[in-house]
Structure 1
Amino acid sequence: MSTIEVGGTTLYYERRGDGPAVLCIPGVAGDAGLWSGTAEALADEFTMVSYDRRGNSRSPRPKNWISTSIDEQADDAAGLLRGLDLAPAVVFGASGGGVILTDLVLRHPDVVRAAIIHEPPFISASSDADAVGRQLGARFEEGMAKDGLRGAMESLLHWAWGEEGLAAVDPQTRERLRSNAEVFIGMELEAFIEYLPSSEELAGVKVPCIVTASAENRDPTAHYHHGYEVSQWLATQLHAEFLELPGRHVPYLTHTAELAECLRPLLRTLSI
């Protein structure tokens, strides 16, 4: 078990392989284990790192820590890279990790060689934000009625990941995710919902960025089409290249080998 002291907290992290550094930032439920398959597949060529975000899973909750911000989350990612002497690195952030990565390139560009941002939940930038909010609210209430905060967490993950995504998570990791419910719902959710950089801020980003979305979300009738739509919006704001990845919202869980082979040539190019 590897840990590092960063910004007044202890972060658990996993490091695999050797070569150019790639940091994977987890989103909802903040667990390094979500990236293990992708990291293993790419560790033959890259130094793959992921971590449990502060207060999640194997990263203990700091004393007197009662709230967070996206700035704090980005500071943790920057501190991790500096502490491991891996900066600058290519950074891949998916879902909520993409929100953190967006802030990272704005506030700590020196630690990011290049950024790959996948379907960040900037819901207010989608064309039907109210409908998405209603869906989230309904899932939250349904889960709470069944099993309190843990049930709400699992219900939200099912909504975002689908049955295939949840089925790809082993029982031990799944229980860790459920145990993170209090931190995510009570301390993180509001920060993720409220964070949205201005068009001027995004247009000023100098770090090379690629924005991605999952191919199965391209169809306007797809359940998670808003994720595809938000990625297109963000690519326009950043003047960045837009690419499709396989699967739905969590290809690092459901299409591990295919995703790794999509990322490999990108990582080679971006690591130069």
Structure 2
Amino acid sequence: MTTPRTGTLEVPGARLHYEVRGSGPVLVLIHGGAGDAGVFHEIADPLAEHFTVVAPDRRGHSRSPLDPPSGTPRVADHSDDVVRLLGELTDGPALVYGSSSGAVVALDLLARHPDRVRRVLAHEPPVIGLLPDAAAYRRLFADVRVTHRRQGAEVAMRQFLVGVGLAEAGWEMPPLSELPPPLRELMTRTAANEPFFLEHELTEVTEYEPDTGALLKAADRLLVGVGRDAARQMPGRTGAALAARLGLPVAELPGGHTGYVEDAEAFAARLTELLADGPLTA
């Protein structure tokens, strides 16, 4: 694993940490809730053989603190941050991969700043308003927030993951002491992000309504991805629902909601196939 070049960028209300690897067309990787740039370490190196890979910690996560350290960033704040970061790194439009909450950010980026985007792959954006059982998920997320306040982040995250189908009942995170040092460092950071996700990001992101009109205008640059193993999980269902709403095919990705960790080699190869120059196909 190569050591990335790192930088910081002052933006209104935050200071962004970002990592850069490789050369070639710029590809921005946008992480999901409670994550940071480190979740992409396993796919960053193979992608860097084809692209200049840029991975920021989104504002409020890990090494990108809010200033002042309070409040709930809007989805538009995150997509505007990507535009500001691109302004520091390239004059042209960029390729963008967004995972989960990061996929919502990528959709907003394409809708509001289409001139900065060459191609977007939105991987399972949790736009629950497109689901017939959206109200049940909104009740779940309200209950998760109450659980967080009463019992803490660990219990609330377990409730959330089981509720959306990303974990089995009784699932437990392995002790940090059993993990290799790089993964232990990453998991320590992401665990520290969980309160922010539960109190601020979960509701903000899942209440987001994509601008389907704007996305239809840019549909020739949009892919909606769903993991091969994620069709019955809530994020997989929302991804499929968005593709159907826009009349787009679903781009199948290896693994489930976090395929970039589950099968990094295959996932990086699939991203390269989907995002490289050429006709946009699923």
TM-score, structure 2 as length reference = 0.82
Is 1:53 the counterpart of 2:58? The answer is yes
Is 1:156 the counterpart of 2:160? The answer is yes
Q: Secondary structure at the match of 1:41?
A: helix
| Amino acid corresponding to residue 205 of structure 2 in structure 1 | F
What is the match of residue 9 of structure 1? 14
What is the match of residue 114 of structure 1? 119
What is the match of residue 274 of structure 2? 266
| Amino acid corresponding to residue 33 of structure 2 in structure 1 | V
What is the match of residue 171 of structure 1? 184
Change (3 A) 1:19 1:201: closer
Change (3 A) 1:19 1:227: same
| Aligned-pair CA distance for 1:60 | 1.8
1:24–1:50 contact (8 Å) kept in structure 2 = yes
CA deviations 1:17-44 (Å, max 9, x no partner) are 1111110111201410111111112111
Q: Which 5+ residue runs of structure 1 have no aligned equivalent? A: none
Deviates more, 1:20-29 or 1:60-69: 60-69
| Aligned-pair CA distance for 1:149 | 3.2
Separation of aligned partners in 1, 2:69 and 2:235 = 34
What is the match of residue 33 of structure 1? 38
Separation of aligned partners in 2, 1:206 and 1:8 = 32
TM-score, structure 1 as length reference = 0.85
Separation of aligned partners in 1, 2:44 and 2:101 = 18
1:187-202 equivalence runs, <5 A: 187-202=200-215
| Aligned-pair CA distance for 1:136 | 4.4
CA RMSD of aligned residues (A): 2.9
1:1-272 equivalence runs, <5 A: 1-63=6-68, 65-85=70-90, 87-136=92-141, 146=151, 148-149=152-153, 151-153=155-157, 156=160, 161-162=166-167, 170-205=183-218, 208-218=221-231, 222=232, 224=233, 226-269=234-277
1:140–1:155 contact (8 Å) kept in structure 2 = no
Separation of aligned partners in 2, 1:152 and 1:256 = 28
CA deviations 1:59-92 (Å, max 9, x no partner) are 1221264221111111011111111226411100
Deviates more, 1:125-134 or 1:54-63: 125-134
1:6–1:83 contact (8 Å) kept in structure 2 = no
Separation of aligned partners in 2, 1:80 and 1:207 = 24
Separation of aligned partners in 1, 2:27 and 2:116 = 11
Separation of aligned partners in 2, 1:32 and 1:77 = 13
| Aligned-pair CA distance for 1:199 | 3.6
| Aligned-pair CA distance for 1:179 | 1.2
CA deviations 1:168-201 (Å, max 9, x no partner) are 9922111211212332223322321221024434
Change (3 A) 1:46 1:159: farther
CA deviations 1:208-232 (Å, max 9, x no partner) are 11111011123xxx3x1x3223222
Q: Secondary structure at the match of 2:84?
A: helix
Change (3 A) 1:76 1:157: farther
Separation of aligned partners in 1, 2:172 and 2:51 = 25
